[in-house]
Structure 1
Amino acid sequence: MEDAPHRDTRLALDLALTVRHDGDGGIADDLADPAGLTTWVRVRPELIPGADAYTADAAALTAVRELRAAVRALFAHAVRPGAPSPADAHRLLPVPEALRRLNAAAAIPTVPVLAWAEGTDPVLHRRPTAAAPDLTATLAQAVITFLAGPDRPRLRACHAPRCVRYFLKDHPRQEWCTPSCGNRARVARHHERHKGTVS
């Protein structure tokens, strides 16, 4: 299992990136059905405990997709004053609603537990009622850790033609999520500059 901060950053980005360009001018959704969510989880055993045995159902899919909508809204908020991903620009949740969804998804029920060692006063602790958080809580907690952590200021939306991804800026001159997006953006700019000069 990876160290927690790196794992949380990867999980947060991976969840947001389940919405992507489909190669034909549209948007693809890796979480279109329970089978897609099952596959997405199972290829991340180093990030998600129990991933290799996970099977999604319709309720889990709905919960994760609702969380993803909140995550992408909060990512759009985090990249300001830059523009959000074009996949989100027209349908972002309001930030208070996105925060409510994220925090609700991250919550794990707890029960009060009393500890009382000999010669001390009793102490109240809270213990989770489940042995481990469910998938949605695991993802939501990773997103919270990422958004409150040191990597958030490096978050950017890629604005290459047809790209809808978010990425972490690794060096000062980085403008796109991948070199192929950079190439597409340069070709598009070249085409824009020269389309009026061709007779």
Structure 2
Amino acid sequence: MSAAQLVLDLALTVRHDGRGGVADDLEDAEGLTAWVAAHTAELAEAAALPDPLAPFTADPAALTAVRDLRRAVRTLFARAVRPAPPSPADAERLLPADEALDRLAAAAARVPVAPRLTWPEPGPAELTYRPAAPAPPVDLLVSGLARAAAAFLASDDRDRLRACHAPRCVRYFLKEHPRQEWCKPSCGNRARVARHQRRHRADAL
């Protein structure tokens, strides 16, 4: 999994609840524990986290740290999709952009990293980054996610980021082809139905 998809998955822990509101998969520490467990391999790959994070169990402090980082990420996602509007879930919750950038930098700095060059014989050399010293699991998690977010936001993939504005959707997505307007086909169907209903009501007036 790429850094882009990992960070997108973090942002998508805020989702539509199916009843007209917004649900949060990170509502409690158990939700964060489950999310990390479901993303162990992706965190090791895209966020350069060590395998010992695998038995991670969240506590309230870890939950707060990850939710604070997610808010910064979604604020920067909203900036990335401009001049289009942000996700409806973010309209009233965005941080000032400078604060979001500072929060991202502080999260990344929780664990210093060191470059590691591997060069098998035969084969190409590869540069990776690993924690420079042992650190608490929550610091490894938060800093790894922050570095993945920074890598994505500084990459060309950022230009493909969109907010889905289908009725009831609050998701961000990566545009896969030029004509893609919605995060998934069901959102496109809802948007077309809503558009048809608006036209029908307008014709009836």
Q: TM-score, normalised by structure 2?
A: 0.82
- Assess if the C-alpha contact under 8 Å between 2:32 and 2:58 holds in 1: yes
Q: Is 2:191 aligned against 1:185?
A: yes
The one-letter code sitting in structure 1 at the alignment partner of 2:175 is K
Give the deviation of 1:110 after TM superposition: 4.7
After superposition, residues 134-145 of structure 1 pair within 5 angstroms as: 134-145=140-151
Query: Counterparts of 1:9 and 1:196 in 2: how far apart (Å)?
Result: 41
The one-letter code sitting in structure 2 at the alignment partner of 1:191 is Q
Q: Is 2:41 aligned against 1:64?
A: no
Give the deviation of 1:150 after TM superposition: 1.7
User: What CA deviation, in whole Å up to 9, does each residue of 1:71-129 have, x standing for no partner?
Assistant: 00000000011110010012210000000100000014559xxxxxxxxxxxxxxx823
Q: Is 2:170 aligned against 1:168?
A: no
Q: Any stretches of 5+ residues in structure 1 without a counterpart?
A: 112-126
Query: Counterparts of 2:90 and 2:167 in 1: how far apart (Å)?
Result: 15
Match among 8, 16, 19 for residue 14 of structure 2: 19
What residue number does 2:97 align with? 95
User: What CA deviation, in whole Å up to 9, does each residue of 1:12-51 have, x standing for no partner?
Assistant: 1011100000000000000000000000110112212345
Which 10-residue stretch deviates more, 127-136 or 53-62? 127-136
Query: Counterparts of 1:109 and 1:194 in 2: how far apart (Å)?
Result: 57
Q: Taking every aligned residue pair, what percent have the same amino acid on both sides? A: 63
- Alpha carbons of 1:195 and 1:33: their partners in 2 closer, same or farther (altered >3 Å)? same
Q: Any stretches of 5+ residues in structure 2 without a counterpart?
A: 45-50, 114-130
Give the deviation of 1:198 after TM superposition: 4.2
| Higher helix residue share | 2
What residue number does 2:33 align with? 38
State the structure with more CA Rg.
Answer: 1
Q: Match of 1:194, SS?
A: helix
What residue number does 2:122 align with? none
What residue number does 2:134 align with? 130
Match among 134, 138, 158 for residue 164 of structure 2: 158
- Assess if the C-alpha contact under 8 Å between 1:108 and 1:128 holds in 2: no
The one-letter code sitting in structure 2 at the alignment partner of 1:79 is V
Query: Counterparts of 2:29 and 2:147 in 1: how far apart (Å)?
Result: 22
- Assess if the C-alpha contact under 8 Å between 2:110 and 2:142 holds in 1: no
- Assess if the C-alpha contact under 8 Å between 2:8 and 2:173 holds in 1: yes
CA RMSD of aligned residues (A): 2.0
Query: Counterparts of 1:54 and 1:191 in 2: how far apart (Å)?
Result: 48
